[in-house]
Amino acid sequence: MNNIFFNLTSFINFDLKTLLTTIIYITLSILTSIHILLNKDDVNSAGGWIALVFLSPFIGTILYIFLGINRVKRKGFRLRKTKNLFEKCNFNKDNILNNLQTNHKQLIVFGYNVYQQNFTFGNVINPLQNGTEAYPEMLKEIKNSKKEILISSYIFDYDNETKKFIENFKIAIKNGVKIKILIDGIGSLKFFHRSIEKKLAKINGLEFAIFLPPQIPITLPFVNLRNHRKIIIIDGKIAFFGGMNLSKHNVLINDLKNGILDLTFKIEGPVIEQIIEVFKSDWEFTTGKTINSKYNIDKNFKISEIPARIIQDGPDNKTGSIELIIHGAINSATKKILIVTPYFLPENNILTAIQIAAMKNINVEIIIPKKSDCYFINLATEANFIKLLNCGVKIYQTNLPFDHSKIFIVDDEWIFVGSSNWDVRSFKLNFESNIEIFSKSLAKKLTDIAEEKKKNAKQVTINEYKNIPLIKRIRNNACRLLTPYS
């Protein structure tokens, strides 16, 4: 009798536990789904998260809480001036913009409606390839600086190459220069520590800050909300802006295994004021401190020089400015589209726009690495090849060393370069900044650089990917599903 009573009690207790667990699971799943529906604009992303929440009890909810919610409410936006830095762009301004093609004038109107930052005039912008060209210029300007140096970098390693930067920081500080350095919390993170952090902390007179340091001191390659910008500003007069990190790998251009090819831009002119605002915003958000530095930036322009403006973007911007401007630029093309990027995993809206452009007989060329620094990205990228090749898109895969360069040119005049890659992470999950430029001469220089890259590349043929085994197609498409939810 006692055994029967014990078994009955155990059954009731077990049943109550199951019932309570089920009620908690359903309640959490419903509440999480409501949050997803209210905060996720993208249908595919919302559907994916809801499916994960219900099909993976508790685990799906936990993943969404840690990876799916954008908690960053940028203090920088509240601290930043609400008024525009420049007068509204005037298409008649000394005929500079009147000389543009009609589709480019329309692109200016579209771009201004997407991101209300105005063009500046009188800029000088020159590309620098790899650390072999860029680092000597950076070091020279740091050493010769007079007032202030501002640096933001996703990766800032401590190695034989970056030691030169440390030494030049010390020289500049002795000359009375103030230095502020902002490093991303993940980009430079090694196992349990950031090696550069200790070195910077030892330099008296240098301020540094870590952007959103992770709670777990281990490198996690797919953590969201990273500051992916790469900016160096010297005395408010010279800036280095683009996608190049600070690491010895950028000078090892003949080392197939360890070398990284890259591109950055040396900039002079009034657009630097907009670059400074990007740094100020990030610094104030990270440290809570306002930068009060004043610069005498010449806002006069010369007709022969380059109109340009800065576009900053991040997960605190619901419009997705960089992705929208890229989309608009693809749609505006009439002759040629050139894309150079280390990662090419855009969503279907961008892929469809590229397909349509190619089907209109626009010459579309995409140059990407054969092998990136992530095996799964290589496979996921290849999953999109067939649909692009079928429409006439030309795809070139460069051989090692890994090419991290970023170039986007439309009709040999409109240029969009910076820190952003062509993937969901850059378009929606990271803090990025690009520069929009109109210049036929600069477009020609960048096209020549791309042509040199094609010499170290193999053009992908449609037959290669039509005939790949079924198991590999399944593998590639499965990897494509790993594209981060937004």
Q: Which residue has the tokens 């140096």?
A: 149
- Cα dihedral angle (217, 222, 227, 231), rounded to 10 degrees? 100
296-324 b/e (C-beta count within 10 Å ≥ 16 → b): eeeeebeeebbbbbbbbbbbeeeebbbbb
pLDDT score recorded for residue 485:
44
Which tokens go with 140?
Answer: 């020279």
Q: Which residue has the tokens 């009060």?
A: 292
Domain count, the chain: 3
Q: Pick from 277, 304, 331: which residue ends a domain?
A: 304
Which tokens go with 458?
Answer: 């193999």
Strand-pair partners of 178? 148
335 and 367 share one domain: yes
Residue 89 within a domain: no
One-letter amino acid of 147:
K
Q: Is the dihedral of CA 105, 106, 109, 111 positive or negative?
A: negative
Q: What is the CATH number of the domain that holds 462?
A: 3.30.870.10
267 and 173 share one domain: yes
For helices 375-382 and 470-480, the axis angle rounded to 10 degrees is 110
Longest dimension (CA), the chain: 101
201 and 231 share one domain: yes
Q: Is the dihedral of CA 193, 195, 196, 198 positive or negative?
A: positive
277 and 337 share one domain: no
160 and 221 share one domain: yes
Residue 358 within a domain: yes
174 and 291 share one domain: yes
204 and 281 share one domain: yes
Radius of gyration for the alpha carbons in the chain, expressed in angstroms and rounded: 25
Pairing of the two strands 120-129 and 306-313: antiparallel
CA dist 54 and 49 (Å) reads 9
Residue 74 within a domain: no
Residue 316 within a domain: no
- Other C-beta atoms lying within 10 Å of the C-beta of residue 211: 23
pLDDT score recorded for residue 70:
59
19 and 144 share one domain: no
Residue 422 within a domain: yes
CA dist 124 and 105 (Å) reads 21
Q: Pick from 304, 331, 356: which residue ends a domain?
A: 304
Residue 106 within a domain: no
Residue 104 within a domain: no
Q: Pick from 53, 68, 83: which residue ends a domain?
A: 68
pLDDT score recorded for residue 292:
83
- Cα dihedral angle (278, 279, 285, 291), rounded to 10 degrees? -120
pLDDT in tens, the chain (486 residues): 555 544 545 545 557 778 888 888 889 889 988 888 887 777 777 888 888 888 888 888 888 877 676 555 444 344 444 444 344 444 444 455 667 788 888 899 899 999 999 999 889 999 999 999 999 999 999 999 999 999 999 999 999 999 999 999 999 999 999 999 999 988 766 555 567 888 999 999 999 999 988 766 554 544 667 899 999 999 999 999 999 999 999 999 999 999 999 999 999 999 999 999 999 999 999 999 998 877 766 555 555 578 999 999 988 776 789 999 999 999 999 999 999 999 999 989 999 999 999 999 999 999 999 998 887 788 888 889 999 999 999 999 999 999 999 999 999 999 999 999 999 889 988 899 999 999 999 999 999 999 999 999 999 999 888 788 888 778 777 777 766 544
Residue 448 within a domain: yes
Start-to-end C-alpha separation, the chain: 59
Nearest to 345 by CA among 325, 315, 374: 374
Which pTM does this prediction carry?
0.84
201 and 236 share one domain: yes
138 and 51 share one domain: no
Residue 369 φ then ψ, to 5°: -70, 145
One-letter amino acid of 374:
C
335 and 297 share one domain: no
Measured CA to CA in angstroms, residue 264 lies from 135, 403, 406 at distances of 10, 13, 9
297 and 334 share one domain: no
Can you give the residue range of the structural domain that contains 174?
Answer: 120-304
